[in-house]
Amino acid sequence: MYSKNEAALIKKEFWTSLGTYLKPVLNAEGRKINWINYKTGVKSIYFRTDVTKKAATIAIELTHSDTEERSAAFEKLVSLKPVFNDMMPEVWQWQREVYDETGLPLSRILIQLENVTIFDRKDWPEIISFFKQHLTALDAFWSVARDYFEE
């Protein structure tokens, strides 16, 4: 068991390591990008990465406060699902309506790598490989789909 401070340091070290590893990786358009804090360029659409004691997760989150706008954005993604599935190395979960930790509704498409922990450095290569593979595929998809979402 780690103290709060030790846990925070381990998390910081992991995210720094991931950022360093991904820094030379160019996006689908051949540009440098901040993979950890990916900017979709579209309001209320975010790419999220997370690692816990149990799993690593990558998600597209639609956080529109207006239910109809969020639903419309999700439907646009659903219409692009064949393209999305062709570009992704694995099948993702599609969640039309879920709630975040504060109780706010959102739509999410996600994939998880289970049975890994941020607190075991032996898991880090597998987690980093998972993030690289899926983030680069997600970026390639977004380079094709982004215009469909811009207002």
What integer pLDDT is reported at residue 41 of this predicted model? 93
CA 118 to CA 20: how far, in whole Å?
Answer: 16
User: Beta strand 93-99 with 55-62: parallel, antiparallel or unpaired?
Assistant: unpaired
Residues of the chain with pLDDT > 70, as a percent, come to: 99
Res 151: pLDDT: 61
Q: Cα 96–101–105 angle (5° rounding)? A: 30
What's the number of CA atoms in the CB half-sphere (13 Å) around residue 119? 11
Return the domain boundaries, the chain.
Answer: 4-149
Matching residue, tokens 């996006």: 27
Task: Give the model confidence (pLDDT) of 79-127 as tens digits.
Answer: 999 999 999 989 999 999 999 989 999 999 999 999 999 999 999 999 9
Is the pLDDT at 1 greater than 80? The verdict is no
- Name the H helices within the chain: 4-22, 67-79, 81-87, 124-149
CATH class of 4-149: alpha beta
Using alpha carbons, select from 65, 77, 50 the residue that is nearest to residue 135.
Answer: 50
pTM of the full structure: 0.93
For residue 91, the 8-state DSSP code is P
